[in-house]
Amino acid sequence: MKRILSIQSHVVFGCAGNSAAVFPMRRLGMEVWPINTVQFSNHTQYAAGWQGMAMPAGHISALCKGLGDIEVLGQCDAVLSGYLGSAEQGDEILAVVAAVKAANPAAIYFCDPVMGHPEKGCIVAPGVTRFLTEQALPVADIMAPNLLELETLCDTHLADLAQTRAAAHRLLAKGVQMVLVKHLGRAASQTGRFEMLLATQEGDYLVSRPLYEFARQPVGVGDLISALMLANLQAGFEAVAAFERTNAAVDAVLLRTWQADAYELQLIDAQSAFAEPIVEHRAERLA
């Protein structure tokens, strides 16, 4: 059994951060140790707002010390980080990553560089973007940005697939082993499809799935993608197979969510797709 330490946000109601990631990873057979960077009543894109707080400075470090005290850090196979409540939490996360890798040199760090999208109501604390660009990037083994986050990481505008591939390889050149671009958006090769890019030193791969017309776009899809990709890799699937399985499972969740006319991801209804996804769309190796 693989063990994943997942450090990201938590919502009491709905599916975002750990609330979108922990259950799917467990359904895939992972033992997940969640640490919450914030605890909110709901995600921040509800018009009525939200209640809750970011965890105080030292909270993550204290929990990690507790894990060290009971001598389980060496059992951790991967650290996953997502939404941060403050830039200071980033420093604590990197200390956790260092402690885990010291105890288990084979452990990996999967960084989902959540930078926010103010136009949609997703806001991150000051300094988080700088932390991700300057401190997390050099340490991460795998990064999973969306197109806007990749632009920020590379300080460039991306208009098409070729430019996006080049930007992903800039991250690979800095030591990242694998880059998953979770949503190509305007840089996609075709309209009317949701496309993702996987960039590795061995090659680049493109996969797509249907686009569903939601009255309100569900939140937490990126968190789900990162969690499933990491869990599939930890389950022993090679990168392209993990990529395809992740795409298939996310498609199943979004189809169920669309059929239910729901705003929150229908993870429980689609849970069989996490462990046994039906892969209909194969990844294309790009020239």
Which residues carry a binding-site annotation? 9, 44-45, 112, 144, 149, 182, 223
User: Helix count (H) and strand count (E) of the chain?
Assistant: 9, 10
Q: One-letter amino acid identity for 274?
A: F
Report the DSSP pairing between strands 52-54 and 78-81: unpaired
Give φ, ψ of 267 to 5 degrees. -70, -40
Binding residues for substrate: 9, 44-45, 223
Binding residues for ATP: 112, 144, 149, 182
Q: What's the farthest any 2 CA atoms get from each other in the chain?
A: 52
The helix (H) or strand (E) run that includes residue 194 is strand 193-200
Axis-axis angle for helices 221-234, 239-259 (nearest 10):
140
Contact between 189 and 250 (Cβ < 8 Å): no
Query: How many other β-carbons are positioned within 10 Å of the β-carbon of residue 151?
Result: 18
Closest of 92, 59, 80, 284 to residue 189, by C-alpha: 284
Write the Ramachandran bin of 243: left for phi over 0, alpha for psi from -120 to 50, otherwise beta. Answer: alpha
- Rounded to an integer, what distance in angstroms lies between the CA atom of residue 118 and that of residue 125? 11
Contact between 208 and 194 (Cβ < 8 Å): yes
| Alpha-carbon separation of residue 167 from 51, 147, 148, 174, 197 (angstroms) | 37, 10, 12, 11, 11
- With tokens 């022993």, the residue in question is 236
130: which 2 tokens?
């700088």
